A and B are shown apart, each in its own frame.
Chain A
Amino acid sequence: MNHSLVEIQDLTHTYPDGTEAVHRVSLRIRNGESVAVVGANGAGKSTLLLHLNGSLIPQNGTIRVGDVHITKATLSDIRRTVGMIFQDPDDQLFMPTVAEDVAFGPISLGLAPEEVERRVTAALHQVHATHLRDRPPYKLSGGEKRLAAIATVLAMTPDILVMDEPSSNLDPRARRALIELLAGFRQTKIIATHDLDLVLDLCERTVVLREGRIMADGPTSDIFAADRLLAESHLEKPLRLQACPVCSRRGPMTAPLPGFGRNSNPDEPEGNRARQ
């Protein structure tokens, strides 16, 4: 699978107030890859992500997803291929119950009621949230909201998952469960985050953004070894890689904590790490 799935070329985006959020960014992402996009606040991560499913149309440069270039005309195709998980799940869950919210996308696609129902059940099952089905979104905890939001996207059966800060506002246990869950997904993943420990667990490749430009792009282990690059980009080495007398002995390959491996596939993250 060397065919690149997403190809961004010379993307530049300037906001109406004159801020240049993204400057001549070029990126190729292969099918099945997990790519982290990291950088300081305001480095252009969100702007880049918003381009990936056509929420922003490229002003300069091009984006190709599969065989389709992102333009106004191809938006509906793009949005079926690229699923976007927002930073605040409250923005994404706007229907009265979780099940209706998950069904929103499939119904909008014009699928038959049976197929909608099948997809809703499958998506909720995939995120282990079948029990949340009839609950209203405002009664969910932060972690449950996140799961529901992911299910709404999975119900569209996207090939690519784009996530903005998936681990923000989660308690440690919910965060761990989320990492396990995401590690089990076979879709191509593009994750913008400040949570570098999560990157270590999920992404074999990391792109560092600074002031709208790509500073580095390479294997996660290499990036995290470059102390100077991290410092310049307002980042910090993941805690697990810092020289703590306990952690450094155990190293980054720590197995998932016992008790959090609920329904997860422990081989998958190991496999990812082996490639680092």
Chain B
Amino acid sequence: MHMADALLSPAIGGTFWAASAGAIAWCAKKVQQGLDDRNVPLMGVLGAFIFAAQMINFTIPGTGSSGHIGGGILLAILLGPYAALLTIASVLVVQALFFADGGLLALGCNIFNMGFLPCFLAYPLLYKPIAGSGKSRRRIAIGAIFAAIAGMQLGAFGVVCETVLSGISALPMHTFLWAMLPIHLAIGLIEGLITASVVTFVWQARPEILDCAAGAHPQSSAPITKVLICLAVAAALISGVCSWFASKAPDGLEWSIARVTGQKELAAPLAGIHGSLAGLQEKTALLPGYGFRNSGQEPAVHLEGQSAWPAVDPGATVAGLVGGGLTFLLIIWLALVFRKRRRAA
């Protein structure tokens, strides 16, 4: 359930980047203040452990397909929320850079969905109250299962919201939700069962590890307010962006109609820069006849309008096809040149 760069709009990507960068900075400060330098190697190897654990698959009962552990809630239980967020974020960075899971700009969304939501919502609001001080095996197990399910549902919901708000995919919100939430309910349940059994295994073998994690990061009572404040800020941020977005693009379909009829245009996020540049471009137009249909009335829209396919202007379509085709040929040619050079070297 990684969010991908290609599905993002700059506004959504930027907002979540800012939110996640803030969360990382805050957690980094918290971890540093924690003064337990054992955490430094512990977080590092636990991050690597997530990858190692994912090497090992298990058969999902009844389906015959295989799954592996995600590990978000497990990390939160072992490390406490602050260190866990950093560890999950580091795992996501490696996945983004090496495995093309997500991407650099989508990291913000992914850290929010898979790090912030489980660590600062599911863990303190579900696992902590249910598991209590960690003296009962059953309570630990139930807490882990509920927290994992909730974390997964929240994360899936996040993915849907971010995708729909970005507007690159035409999937309507409710259809997407119907596709995502039930699947992630199942995934969350399995993740919860696995997390519960791993945690109880560790608890039986070496109870001091969990005590240590719980003791080193008192999280149950006071910081709840902080969590809520944090959430309120995040919610305000997101709803701000959403409302801004919604007012500009009421809905994907309407948006595209507006685009076709050329009546209403969506301002690009960088409208200011683009606007002034568009003005500049108008003055210094390279080719005569390159003037854009709407440019006279709507200079700020120039760029976005230009990049849409103006259906009413077959000349532009042909020009776009010819130009695109030529560029494509150039790309292929360059690729072949480099390939030859490599062979020769």
Contacts and interface: CB of A to CB of B under 8 A. Distances in A.
Contacts, number: 3
Contacts of A260: none
B41 interface: yes
3 contacts: A16-B208, A94-B41, A94-B44
Interface residues on B, range: under 10
Interface string A16-32: 10000000000000000
Contacts of A94: 41, 44
B208 to A, nearest CB: 8
Please give me the 3 A-B residue pairs with the lowest Cβ-Cβ distance, nearest first.
Answer: A94-B41, A94-B44, A16-B208
Interface string B39-75: 0010010000000000000000000000000000000
A94 B45 CA distance: 10
Nearest to B208: A16
A16 B208 CA distance: 11
Contacts of A16: 208
Interface string A65-108: 00000000000000000000000000000100000000000000
A236 to B, nearest CB: 34
Judged by DSSP, the binding face of B is helix
Nearest to A16: B208
Contacts of B41: 94
A16 B211 CA distance: 15
A16 B41 CA distance: 23
Interface of A: 16, 94
Interface string B185-217: 000000000000000000000001000000000
Interface of B: 41, 44, 208
Judged by DSSP, the binding face of A is loop
A94 B44 CA distance: 10
A94 B43 CA distance: 13
Contacts of B44: 94
A16 B44 CA distance: 26
Nearest to B40: A94
A146 B102 CA distance: 38
Contacts of B208: 16
A94 B208 CA distance: 26
A16 B207 CA distance: 12
B38 to A, nearest CB: 13
A162 B192 CA distance: 45
B232 to A, nearest CB: 39
Nearest to B41: A94
A104 to B, nearest CB: 12
A256 B41 CA distance: 40
A16 B206 CA distance: 11
A94 B48 CA distance: 13
B205 to A, nearest CB: 12
A190 B208 CA distance: 33
Nearest to A91: B41
A94 B41 CA distance: 9
A20 B59 CA distance: 43
A55 to B, nearest CB: 13
A163 to B, nearest CB: 22
B203 to A, nearest CB: 16
Nearest to B44: A94
A79 to B, nearest CB: 14
B219 to A, nearest CB: 26
B308 to A, nearest CB: 47
Nearest to A94: B41
A152 to B, nearest CB: 15
A166 B58 CA distance: 38
A136 to B, nearest CB: 14
A205 to B, nearest CB: 35
B207 to A, nearest CB: 11
A94 B42 CA distance: 12
A72 to B, nearest CB: 15
A237 B21 CA distance: 62
A16 B212 CA distance: 15
A15 to B, nearest CB: 12
A91 to B, nearest CB: 9
A175 to B, nearest CB: 28
A117 to B, nearest CB: 25
A67 B208 CA distance: 36
